[in-house]
A and B are shown apart, each in its own frame.
Chain A
Amino acid sequence: MSYSANQLKNGLKVMIDGDPCSMQQVEFVKPGKGQAFTRVKMRNLLTGRVWERTFKSNESLEAADVMERDMEYLYSDGDMFHFMVPVTFEQYAVEEKAVGDAVKWLKDNTVCIITLWNDRAIVVTPPNFVELEVTETDPGLKGDTAQGGSKPATMSTGAVVRVPLFIEQGEMLKIDTRTGDYVSRAAKG
């Protein structure tokens, strides 16, 4: 299957120089008197590189066999990270490189989006929000629940997050994985 460059849309995955790439920004450029171009900002899904390229709008591009599946994180054996498709129990071993920064937010049973290219896991995207326990931080300042400063806190996964001064060791916090920011104390379950 292939696309012509003027069919490109945000989110579409195509093969560029042998690597699967995701289209991030697609612009139709057409001088009144002159040929049409498709100007694309895209991300190489293997290397994470984001860059721009302009195609002739009738240029043909091969579709990348890329799909995304929800998978639960099971464990790491020190070499590979193991995930499972909840419905089918299929397991995937994922290389550290593909896990990337998501490793900071992985705890058992976290459901992540795994990007598969030709059935090989190439990207791990954590959920937008995770709840993690504080394993280490300076003692909380009583009464300081309003605004004020912040301090570093180490979470159970090893991630270090800036948190308000009143947070205590052992508390569960809600974190935004896209920014790495503290959101709130986790709702008491």
Chain B
Amino acid sequence: MNTDHWQPSATLETLKKRAAMLAQIRDFFSARDVLEVDVPVLSQAAVCDPYIDSLTVEYRNFPEDTVQHYYLQSSPEYAMKRLLAAGSGCIYQMSKVFRNGEVGSRHNPEFTMLEWYRLGLDDQTLMDEVAALVTKVTGIEHFQRYSYRQLFLQYLNLDINTASDAKLAVKMREQIEVSGEYDRDGWLNLLMSHCIEPQLQGAVFVYHYPASQSALARLTTDADGFSVAARFELFIEGVELANGYHELTDAAEQAKRFAADQQLRSELGLQQRPLELRLVEALKQGLPDCAGVALGVDRLLMLALAKEQIAEVLPFDFSRA
């Protein structure tokens, strides 16, 4: 521990703006009659996503008791959906979430996530609301929308519906050396993060992600008849800011995706962790038709204040935590 680092990583002026922004966000939802909730950040279940590593916490009933493992949540999604299935109506949560190993200029292992769910909206109409919130907080008024496929056609002249994995790899290696081999989604993620995102100017919604990257979004069909995920992301000046879905409500499909993720975790040599089977039960009970989105509040503040490092908008970043 470096005791020289007792001081905050953000200026006090920034922290006042941070507080004002949090208040603005709460006003936004209050005016729209969306209920604030605070579901647990500590849960018996972990996220199943193979590329998100939950932090493990040791719980004991008394100091000498055997350890029970709990997991710090990487997003409040599972518990919020259990509330939705229980009839909560539209809800939002703004709280700390945790992701192991994620440290960088735009990453902090503990960060503030704003997540909300709207009954009756789909991915397209929820984008309108995300835009309204971003406008309120940053003043940005112009938003572009591209499908994932359009984006690859425009920036890389690559049709992801026909390009082979090998072609994706060649295209990537033309731009930057890459060591190792990847699966199709790996190459797509590399091209997106290395070659497309840095070129995105202003605020850009990307929708209709490949079906293989649907996460917890339902599948839909695009205008050309291809199966795609009803999932979108928002990038501002090339920074990934929000990720939203027209939510999957099919319990059997949910159980299948959990099992597939668990299978992939095992192939990758990752720890098997308890799945959130209560979500499957909640979906069986019935999740109302809704759309939901998660937005990185620290990154939103970085954009609003033109800061390059996430540390500059946090009271104490990970190195000082």
- A interface, CB within 8 angstroms of B: 6, 27-37, 39, 51-57, 59
Contacts and interface: CB of A to CB of B under 8 A. Distances in A.
B202 to A, nearest CB: 20
Interface size on B, as a range, is 20 to 34
B103 A29 contact: no
Contact of A54 (B50, B101, B190, B294): B190
Contacts of A35: 50-51, 186, 189
Contact of B194 (A33, A39, A51): A39
A47 to B, nearest CB: 15
A32 B176 contact: no
A29 B240 CA distance: 11
A186 B222 CA distance: 72
A51 B177 contact: yes
Interface of B: 49-51, 101-105, 107, 176-180, 185-186, 189-190, 192-194, 213, 215, 233, 240, 243, 294
Nearest to A54: B178
A130 B294 CA distance: 56
Contacts of B178: 53-54
Contacts, number: 66
A73 B211 CA distance: 64
Contacts of B213: 33-34
A54 B175 CA distance: 11
A54 B179 contact: yes
Contacts of A34: 51, 185-186, 189, 193, 213
22 contacts: A29-B104, A29-B194, A30-B51, A30-B102, A30-B104, A30-B107, A31-B192, A31-B193, A32-B233, A32-B240, A33-B51, A33-B215, A34-B186, A34-B189, A35-B186, A36-B101, A52-B177, A53-B179, A54-B176, A54-B179, A54-B190, A56-B180
Contacts of B186: 34-35
B193 A29 contact: yes
A51 B178 CA distance: 12
A35 B178 CA distance: 14
Given A33-B49, A59-B179, A59-B180, A54 B189 contact: no
Given A30-B104, A34-B193, A36-B102, 7 more contacts: A28-B103, A31-B240, A32-B243, A33-B49, A37-B193, A54-B179, A59-B180
